[in-house]
Amino acid sequence: MAFGCCAYVYLTLPDVRALATSNPSTTAFIMLRAEQARGKGEKPRRVQRWVGYRHVSSDLKRAVLVAEDDAFFQHEGVDFEQLQESIEIDWARGRFTRGASTITQQLAKNLYLSPSKNPLRKLRELIIARRLEAELKKARILEIYLNVIEWGDGVYGVEAAAQTYFHRPASTLGPSESALLAGAIVNPRLLNPARPGTRLIRRQQLILKRMGGVTPPPAVEIPAPTEPPPAQTEEPVESPPTEAKPPDG
């Protein structure tokens, strides 16, 4: 059974090499949100505009690294110390609840997987994260992450978030706005950077205090990525990727 599960995971892994030169037109998470909206009889909303790594404020890059993965430079996709701590806490509680995901793991899940806590899904996430690190530069991983993550209801990526909440491009964001956006990633549908509540302001202040000690990865020369379709307000009618059950035996 264990061998069958491992073989299934390995044989069904996505090929991430294309991400070095092309931007994803959608993600498993965006498709899931569209499916959820259609299930409620609503029109899927999607506001997204891709921007290159050089066109994202350095303050925002620092803020996101502080908020989501301050060991981004030290790991190769998986922070094993944090992962072990997470597993120990989950084991003590008897359930999978605590996250210890790096930015690379979050990207793997966002691009290809469901948000379930299934151990097999987690294994796929870990392997995909290592593959992303093997095939892509750190700057490219962070660029894709910043352009696809959810930043509000139907708001995806840093440029859409900057324009939605601050009415300015992502390249011009300063420390204060950057810390608000980074602080909202943990719960983007509840935390509004344009009207921050006590919780988000507290997170903003913590992030601001630590931003000086983090340096974002330098931009690297890569072939110009193929751009995805322009910002759109409705998703194509397609279902999100599903994770088939592993074979028995």
Q: What is the CATH number of the domain that holds 157?
A: 1.10.3810.10
- How many structural domains does the chain have? 1
* pLDDT at position 84 over 60: no
DSSP lists the bridge partners of residue 226 as: 22
On whether residue 235 sits in a domain, the answer given is: no
On whether residue 225 sits in a domain, the answer given is: no
Q: Supply 87's token pair.
A: 């597993």
Q: Supply 65's token pair.
A: 């690294």
Give the residue numbers spanning the domain of 87.
Answer: 30-213
On whether residue 2 sits in a domain, the answer given is: no
On whether residue 231 sits in a domain, the answer given is: no
Confidence (pLDDT) at 216: 85
Q: Supply 64's token pair.
A: 């996101």
pLDDT, tens digit, 9 for 90 and up, residues 1-22: 554 555 545 557 999 999 999 9
Confidence (pLDDT) at 91: 41
pLDDT, tens digit, 9 for 90 and up, residues 193-249: 999 999 999 999 999 999 987 888 887 655 556 655 555 554 433 333 434 444 444
On whether residue 53 sits in a domain, the answer given is: yes
- Nearest to residue 149, comparing CAs of 199, 96, 185, 194? 185
Three-state SS annotation for 203-239: HHHHHHHHHHHCCCCCCCCCCCCECCCCCCCCCCCCC
For the question of whether the overall pTM of this predicted structure is more than 0.85, the answer is: no
What confidence tier does 118 reach under pLDDT thresholds 50, 70, 90? confident
